[in-house]
Amino acid sequence: MANLIIPTKALSRFMQLLDGSFPSGTFVHSFGLEPHVVLGKVTNISDLELYFDCLIEDQYLKLEFAFALRCFDLLAQGKLKELITEENKFSAMLSFEFAQASETIGHNYLKHIHHNVMNSVVKEFFDAIIQHQSIGNEIAVLSAYAVEMKLDCPSFLLLWSKKNLINIAGAVLKISRIKPSDVQKLLFKYDDKLCQHISNYLDNEEVNSIMNFNPLFEQVIYQHLDLEPKLFMT
């Protein structure tokens, strides 16, 4: 991946928005790690690295990254109606509870960032969310704000995914016996890994399809007594 030059103000804003310890809209969630720990699937740092790899390769690259890239493209083309349609499709692929959480987070972010938006398409999109004409999930809202702040898609994907890994790592320290120092080393390792994943993803001409299936995640969910599998809910 080419060296990224991130606008200073955009970096500052996204550092605050994506800070999991600050109540700006995000939430602390293990993203399926807890049942993995309970069932003995993740017991050491190597298991955690495998979990992170599966999360990135089987979910982010096929769902959130693909959707964020579409958001950037449609905003650049000024195609607001198509963006709203894509957001509806994206939300329909999530479990009901996760879709609700994503919408809540997106609306909480929007309360902080919708003022004084200069990009006309982003402003129309934010207005559509406020007027309940669009869902306003987390990825759509943050992608639109990244466009407003002139942050490119690779930079946004890197910041967003690293934020999630950091939040998951926070959960690791509470629910497992993995050493904090080992977790910290692993997180630093993912700076290069994420950049490579994002670079390979954006260079791939076959990234248009959106899927939502994480084999490792699904395997554990189907064994769990309480958690629902990720199925279409109508």
- Inform me whether the pLDDT recorded for 34 exceeds 70: yes
- Judge whether 105 and 25 are in contact, CB under 8 Å: yes
- Amino acid 213: pLDDT: 59
The per-residue pLDDT for 234 is: 33
Looking at residue 233, its pLDDT comes to: 37
Q: What share of the chain has pLDDT > 70, as a percent?
A: 81
- 167 against 80, higher pLDDT: 80
Reported residue count of the chain is: 234
Output the DSSP codes for 149-186.
Answer: TT--HHHHHHHHHHHHHHHHHHHHHHHS---HHHHHHH
Q: What are the structural domains, with CATH classification, of the chain?
A: 8-20+37-219 (1.10.4190.10)
Residue 26's pLDDT band, with cuts at 50, 70 and 90, is very low
169-172's contacts with Cβ under 8 Å and 24+ in sequence apart are 170/20, 170/28, 171/28, 171/29, 171/30, 171/33, 171/34, 172/30, 172/33, 172/48
Distance (Å, rounded) from C-alpha 195 to C-alpha 66?
A: 16
Check whether 140 has a pLDDT greater than 80.
Answer: yes
CA distance linking residue 57 with residue 42, whole number of Å: 17
Q: How far is CA 51 from the centre of its chain?
A: 16
- The three-state secondary structure class of 91 is helix
Chain mean position to CA 209: 17
| pLDDT computed for residue 181 by the predictor | 96
Residue 171 and residue 29 in contact, taking contact as beta carbons nearer than 8 Å: yes
Distance CA 213, CA 17 (A): 27
Tell me, what's the pLDDT at 39? 82
* Mean pLDDT computed over 131-135: 96
**Residues whose CB falls within 8 Å of the CB of residue 168, separated by 6 or more in sequence, listed in order:** 29, 30, 31, 33, 52, 55
DSSP 99: H
Q: Do residues 111 and 63 make contact, with C-beta atoms less than 8 angstroms apart?
A: no
User: Rounded CA gap, 232 and 234, in Å?
Assistant: 6
What is the predicted pLDDT for the residue at 210?
Answer: 77
Query: Does the pLDDT of residue 29 top 70, yes or no?
Result: no
How many whole angstroms separate alpha carbon 101 and alpha carbon 81? Answer: 23
Q: What is the mean pLDDT of the chain?
A: 84
Q: What is the mean pLDDT of residues 151-158?
A: 94
Beta-carbon count within 10 A of 212 CB: 18
The 10s digit of each residue's pLDDT in 81-129 is 999 999 999 988 887 777 888 898 899 999 999 999 999 999 999 999 9
